[in-house]
Amino acid sequence: QVGLFSGTCLIVGTIIGSGIFISPKAVLLYSGAVGPCLLIWAACGVLSILGALCYAELGTTITKSGGDYSYYLEAFHPIVAFLFSWTMVIVLKPSSLAIITLSFAEYVSSPFYPGCSPPIIITKFLAATAILLIVTVNSLSVRLASYVQNFFTTAKLLIIFVIVIAGVVMLAQGKTQNLSNAFEGASTSFGAIGLAFYNGFWAYDGWNQLNFITEELKNPHRNLPLAILIGISLVSVCYVLVNVAYFTVMTPSELLLSPAVAVTFGDRVFYPLSWIVPLFVAFSTFGAANGSCFTAGRLSYVSSREGHMVQILSFISLKHCTPSPAIIFNGLLAICYIIPADIGTLINYFSFAQWGFYGMSALALIVLRFTRKDLHRPVKVPIVLAFLLALVSCYLVLAPIIDKPTIEYLYCSIFIFSGVILYYFFIYRKVKWAQRISRVITTYLQLLIGFYTSMFNNADGASLPAHKNAVLH
């Protein structure tokens, strides 16, 4: 049910979320000056396009949902795919949803607390409410979730267009003082530049999201690469122009001190209609959260279908034909991550592991070129792009660790490789007591979800197993 327009909206809507309204501070902080900051935003866009081209080849060659997970299954040992799904399903996908909804909550509540930050309890409550609403929408209908995504993508492009036009007007009026001497005070630290790219790439994150729903795309061989190229090119241009607009009305120091950059911009340029900016930014972050939830559910569903996650996550609603158990599971984990969440720490934690997996996907493309020459490749990119993506990934993983090692990186590594123990006992060995417990839990969870579905729809709402060996209780 997902065509080219909806696919492009999914990419644009997932990428443009909270990043461009929060990350400008972090990119400027680590780059040290306006000039390097703008260059990093442009470089992140170019590298994202190059990386996305690699994903376009992978997605049109292996037309399975699940994104990187499906590519690892084809190129490497299943344990690599399991470690990816273990890390993404349990930590990275729900933490990403938590980050975006916390940003949504900050922008929704900030107009009610002028001059100070909103209370933490308010932002966390609003974020949890947004997650519950998004989970409900995505559990009810694929088409409804697509319509929601299309609407909020249009809204976020509208506010970006307004900000860019305002920036052009400011430049025409001669407000270019913040753009002069743009490289004065630029950072030369190897690790600081890496962290600046971290936060820039965080704002671009989502360029591979369409690969997670390949099976639900119309004509994926055509629409997947087209949507990727159109979406990321549009986002790259928007991001650079928005940052230029910010610097027309704010000095670097003012931008770093602003609790909500886009809101501060709106207060100075659009007063007394400055309330428009936080409203549309809230739309933007809500749309990004919807896209994140949409794709996260498919990853859980596919990995469970392959036997790498608990069986209940591979079930589909008979009434709505959505992987509602996987979507609900992702939402519940995201709410758990909201409780202790700090956005800056989560971004660094997220990027460290995420870029390691991007590098593995580039390696998967290279491996498949030599081991699976028989595969039909409707899109075939120069293999040098895969090597480039792998090298960039290695830099973004290693540079901050070498420059400033912190305990978070160790925790992340321990968590990822702890999946080896789980794989050995529960998937490779298939210990019997775990199988018995899993069957009982699966039965009761399926009955519970079926009960609530039938209660709200006045129909038999049991869930349908996605693989032939599952038992419908």
| 471 part of a folded domain | no
Residue-level pLDDT at 106: 80
| 467 part of a folded domain | no
Strand partners, 337: none
- Contacts of 295 by beta carbon, 8 Å cutoff, 6+ apart: 10, 14, 67, 93, 209, 212, 213
Structure tokens at 158: 């509208």
Q: What is the mean pLDDT of the chain?
A: 83
| 258 part of a folded domain | yes
User: For the chain, how long is the longest CA-to-CA vector?
Assistant: 73
| Contact between 25 and 240 (Cβ < 8 Å) | no
pLDDT digits (tens, 9 = 90+) for 262-308: 778 888 888 777 778 878 888 888 988 998 898 888 888 899 888 88
| 25 part of a folded domain | yes
Task: Give the dihedral sign, CA 238/25/290/201.
Answer: positive
Structure tokens at 19: 């990043």
pLDDT of 19 over the 70 cut: no
| Contact between 124 and 343 (Cβ < 8 Å) | no
User: Residue 275 maps to which CATH number?
Assistant: 1.20.1740.10
pLDDT digits (tens, 9 = 90+) for 56-79: 899 889 988 888 899 999 999 999
pLDDT digits (tens, 9 = 90+) for 86-145: 998 988 888 888 888 888 888 788 778 777 778 888 889 999 999 999 999 998 888 888
| 357 part of a folded domain | yes
* Mean pLDDT confidence for 256-264: 77
Residue-level pLDDT at 473: 35
Burial (0-12, 13-18, 19+ Cβ within 10 Å), 244: buried
Provide the domain count of the chain: 1
Calpha distance 216→149 (Å, rounded):
15
| 461 part of a folded domain | no
Percent of the chain with pLDDT over 90: 14
Report DSSP state, residue 430.
-
Residue-level pLDDT at 283: 86
pLDDT of 471 over the 70 cut: no
Q: Annotate 319-361 with DSSP letters as a single string.
A: TT-S-HHHHHHHHHHHHHHHTT--HHHHHHHHHHHHHHHHHHH
| 148 part of a folded domain | yes
pLDDT of 178 over the 90 cut: no
Residue-level pLDDT at 71: 93
Domain limits for position 242: 4-453
Structure tokens at 65: 């949902």
Block residue for tokens 């299954």: 73
Calpha distance 18→202 (Å, rounded):
9
- Contacts of 171 by beta carbon, 8 Å cutoff, 6+ apart: 244, 248
pLDDT of 232 over the 70 cut: yes
| 154 part of a folded domain | yes
pLDDT of 81 over the 80 cut: yes
pLDDT of 185 over the 80 cut: no
Q: Which residue has the higher pLDDT, 128 or 408?
A: 128
- One-letter amino acid of 461: G
